[in-house]
Amino acid sequence: KFAAMHKYLEGLNEQQMAAVLHMDGPLMIVAGAGSGKTKVLTSRIAHLINSGVDAFNILALTFTNKAAAEMKERVEHALGNTEARNLYIGTFHSVFARILRADANKLGYPNNFTIYDTDDAKSIIKETVKSLNLDDKHYKPAYIYNRISAAKNALVGYAAYKQDMQIQQEDSRSNRPLMGDIYEAYAKKCFKNGAMDFDDLLFNMYVLLTHFPDALAKYQGRFRYILIDEYQDTNVAQYAIMKMLAARNENICVVGDDAQSIYSFRGATVQNILQFQNDYEDAAVIKLEQNYRSTRTILEVANSIIGNNKNQIPKNLWTDKTEGDKILLARTATDNDEGRFVADAIKEQMMRNHYANKDFAVLYRTNAQSRSFEESLRRMNIPYKLVGGTSFYQRKEIKDYLAYLRVVVNSQDEENIKRIINYPTRGIGKTTIERIIVRADELNTTFWEVIANPEIDGLRSSQTNAFVTMIQSFRTMLEKQNAYEVAFAVGKHTGLVKELYDDKSVEGVARYENVQELLNSIKEFTETPDEEGELQDKSLGSYLQQITLLTDADQDKEEDANAVKLMTIHAAKGLEFPCVFAVGLEENLFPSAMSMYDRNDLEEERRLFYVAVTRAKERLWITYANSRYRFGSLVQNEPSRFIKEVPASYIDTTYTGIGNKGPIGGNTRGGGLFGEQSFDKVPSLKKLADKLAAPKPSTHTPTADFAADDTTDLQVGMQVEHQKFGFGKVLTLEGGTQNRIAAIDFGTHGVKKIMLNFAKLRIV
Ligand code: ATP
Ligand code: MG
């Protein structure tokens, strides 16, 4: 009866309908890919509003800003009015950033705090390591960043970190006993700078809600209905916050798919799904089983791939779509050939089956793989859009410009002051800057105070005075003038734009254009009606917050709309395309080299493959190259083990013989293929996260049919299973072939020395 009344209910199946019409009380939807989870979430929002719930009282959390914008648009469309404008929709990070902008002063931060991106954070860590007189070759910023990030996402602050025995042991085992000190110094520095990194947005939100009952009450009252998409990828901090916000009304609806959990390296835990039913005993649980996205062939392939994972909630996904084409498996000689193959196939499909550019997506494991596809697509004049990779906002000239803007908004921000105080050059040298830093530390004040405060003598000069006066003059504009006006003035009066304009080299011209592009986008920001929420805030502060929170996947421009999309599988989550190329299916690449020795990691790689396959609506290609450049030299690869998991009857192997022309393209590649893949493993934090989320029985139950493997080829780093001690990792090997002894770390059972001749071990 509703279907006749409301557009957003049309065509829903019975389970979807039940989920959409469910009004109050906790609701969880666990369902496979393409079963309409996101559609249900959107329709539910429309239904809530239509049933009289004020849009102001609805909070929807999605994975990317783009997904949020899309959701808002769909709700608007379904309702046929602009009520949806008032929805609070966004990523966890963007929503919390907004809340903290109102309440950060409670935590001792300025409300216009700066948000540091990953690069900013790493460079501060690097400095911190240096200031503690440690070696940054050993205390690598990327490693430390990941570890601190994992700690914050498990809600472990630096004090707790330094007291946790298990963490201490782990840091001394990894020979980084001073990790805790670095964490502390880094956290204090950010605080002093009035800045938060991405993880602080979650961590501080948690602190705000736990320490300030009035704030908690305010947001509990405000968010009477909470909806979360991609629930399987929420981490401990996000879960804890969500639970607090929902505590009063318990109108919480989560949708997710355990088979698509692909962010455990960032602390996300599938345990959330199990935990939900513990936390909300009367939760309604709805399963969706019909897939509306893919052909039967694609769906069957996806089902059989994921069937190889031990850890999963059983699902029975079916479709009434046609069988469709077989999966095309293609082997090429090199990565360059793989690029050519894909470009050729796209061209052919466009001619034969009338697809448009935008109907294709090339999905890879690591960003570095994009190069060969970019080259071949460019050569064939096929427009493409690289989603992710080095983004616009990471370019030097853009970061410089933004640094100025950030300093204008928040002068506590020492990192950004240092970046620009002598750019363009104005005679403030390195030594002066270092002396100012030392002075600030002595006086326990900020960099800015030392140069701006006339009562602090000795370090001010005509040059620093001119800088201070200039920044102050911009600051006076903040209140009355919008982001564009201030940004324009900054570009003009600092000499920044002129400096770039005067550089007539090819790169210089490109930099100048980039800066113009930045100004255009700021202008656009000030002229676009505010989609973000109730505030029509066009200030510079509001602009800065918005761009810092853009995720790579969000930087989609109009002109890129009809282009082939190149992206990592992580970035493709939740999306769908008529034609998908899953590329680089090679051992050590996909699954990644780092995942091979741990069952959980391997299962996560398989889920990633499942995500890739289930993006396809009509046609799917799987490709791999015999050899590719890695770390600057040509490496031979074996086909991925995942290929064997695709049932042969669904595979068209016409192309497995192509491209045997030997390597073409030459030794042009720099950096390693795995350069971007810095997912450092943080076992104890992962464990801690699991513990906080749900106590999971971790005792090893030996199987009756334990068949030992031949251990002749056992090597350090390999993962093994022991009948009694369970899973472990080989630390060292000693002795001759007849009496080899392995030291194996069995986790909770500790490190055991095992005589390989006698022990029954299985290689995992
Ligand atoms: P993923 O797990 O990949 O995020 P999902 O479960 O969120 O997938 P949706 O993206 O919501 O799935 O839906 C997949 C496709 O199926 C979309 O194109 C959607 O419009 C379509 N769809 C969903 N439900 C129905 C339905 N009842 N009738 C017709 N089409 C539907
Ligand atoms: Mg979805």
The three-class DSSP label of residue 711 is coil
Is 424:499 a contact under the CB 8 Å cutoff? yes
Residue 699 annotated as binding site: no
Residue 690: pLDDT band by 50, 70, 90 thresholds?
very low
What pLDDT does 559 receive?
Answer: 58
Residue 36 annotated as binding site: yes
Q: Ligand 1 atom 14: the closest Cα is on which residue?
A: 34
Is 586:640 a contact under the CB 8 Å cutoff? yes
Q: Ligand 1 atom 15: the closest Cα is on which residue?
A: 293
User: Rounded to the nearest whole angstrom, what is the distance from the C-alpha of residue 232 to the centroid of ligand 2?
Assistant: 11
Is 333:663 a contact under the CB 8 Å cutoff? yes
User: Rounded to the nearest whole angstrom, what is the distance from the C-alpha of residue 313 to the centroid of ligand 2?
Assistant: 18
Cβ atoms < 10 Å from Cβ of 70: 17
Q: Ligand 1 atom 30: the closest Cα is on which residue?
A: 292
Question: 734-748 burial by CB neighbour count: b if 16+ within 10 A, else e?
Answer: eeeeeebebbbebbe
pLDDT at 698 over 60: no
Give pLDDT tens digits for 585-613.
Answer: 999 999 988 888 888 899 999 999 999 99
Residue 78 annotated as binding site: no
User: Rounded to the nearest whole angstrom, what is the distance from the C-alpha of residue 295 to the centroid of ligand 1?
Assistant: 13
Is 589:675 a contact under the CB 8 Å cutoff? no
pLDDT at 676 over 50: no
Atom of ligand 1 at shortest range from CA of 16: 27
Is 561:355 a contact under the CB 8 Å cutoff? no
Alpha carbon 226 to its chain's center: 22
User: Rounded to the nearest whole angstrom, what is the distance from the C-alpha of residue 293 to the centroid of ligand 1?
Assistant: 6
Query: DSSP readout, 341-398?
Result: HHHHHHHHHHHHH---GGGEEEEESSGGGHHHHHHHHHHTT--EEE-SSS-GGGSHHH
Q: Give yes or no: 164 in active site.
A: no
Atom of ligand 1 at shortest range from CA of 574: 4
pLDDT at 714 over 80: yes
Among the residue ranges 217-226, 236-245, 283-292, 303-312, the one predicted with the least confidence is: 303-312
Q: Give yes or no: 502 in active site.
A: no
Q: Give yes or no: 38 in active site.
A: yes
Whole-angstrom Cα distance, residue 338 to residue 426?
50
What count of residues does the chain have? 764
Cβ atoms < 10 Å from Cβ of 187: 21
Annotated catalytic residue: which of 114, 260, 545, 614?
Answer: 260
Q: Give yes or no: 106 in active site.
A: no
User: Rounded to the nearest whole angstrom, what is the distance from the C-alpha of residue 34 to the centroid of ligand 2?
Assistant: 7
Give pLDDT tens digits for 716-757.
Answer: 888 888 877 778 888 888 777 666 778 888 877 777 777 777
Pocket lining for ligand 1, CB < 6 angstroms: 11-13, 16, 31, 33-39, 257, 260, 292-293, 574, 576, 614
Taking the CA atoms of the chain, what radius of gyration do you get in angstroms? 27
Is 617:294 a contact under the CB 8 Å cutoff? yes
Q: Ligand 1 atom 16: the closest Cα is on which residue?
A: 292
Which helix H or strand E contains 727, and what residues bound it?
strand 726-734
Annotated catalytic residue: which of 16, 37, 605, 711?
Answer: 37
Whole-angstrom Cα distance, residue 160 to residue 704?
42
Q: Ligand 1 atom 8: the closest Cα is on which residue?
A: 34
Residue 38 annotated as binding site: yes
Report the interhelical angle of 540-548 vs 92-103 (nearest 10°): 150
Ligand number, closest to the Cα atom of 260: 1
Residue 33 annotated as binding site: yes
Query: DSSP readout, 162-197?
Result: HH-HHHHHHHHHTT-TTHHHHHHHHHHHHHHTTEEE
What pLDDT does 450 receive?
Answer: 92
Tell me the CA distances in angstroms from 244 to 62, 215, 247, 249, 256, one per residue in order.
18, 11, 5, 10, 20
What percent of the residues of the chain are helix, what percent strand, and what percent coil, each to the nearest 5? 50, 15, 35
Q: Residues within 5 Å of ion ligand 2 by Cβ? A: 37-38, 574
Whole-angstrom Cα distance, residue 710 to residue 345?
44
Residue 149: pLDDT band by 50, 70, 90 thresholds?
very high
Cβ atoms < 10 Å from Cβ of 661: 12
Judge if ipTM > 0.90: yes
Q: Give yes or no: 615 in active site.
A: yes
Going by DSSP bridges, is the β-strand pair 284-288/252-256 parallel, antiparallel, or unpaired? unpaired
Strands (E), 552-594: 564-568, 577-582
Whole-angstrom Cα distance, residue 129 to residue 149?
16
Average pLDDT over residues 362-383: 87
What pLDDT does 659 receive?
Answer: 37
Residue 34 annotated as binding site: yes
Residue 32 annotated as binding site: yes
What pLDDT does 720 receive?
Answer: 86
Asked, as a colleague might, if the bond just before 702 is cis with ω within 30 of 0, I would say no
Say which DSSP state 630 is in: E
Substitution site in 2, 63, 292, 315 for ligand 1 pocket (most atoms within 8 Å of beta carbon): 292
Q: Ligand 1 atom 21: the closest Cα is on which residue?
A: 292
What pLDDT does 554 receive?
Answer: 57
Whole-angstrom Cα distance, residue 185 to residue 278?
38
Substitution site in 38, 62, 77, 359 for ligand 1 pocket (most atoms within 8 Å of beta carbon): 38
CB within 8 A of 423, min separation 6: which ones? Answer: 400, 496
Say which DSSP state 185 is in: H
CB within 8 A of 512, min separation 6: which ones? Answer: 497, 500, 501, 503
Whole-angstrom Cα distance, residue 470 to residue 437?
20
Is 291:35 a contact under the CB 8 Å cutoff? yes
β-partners of residue 332 are 625
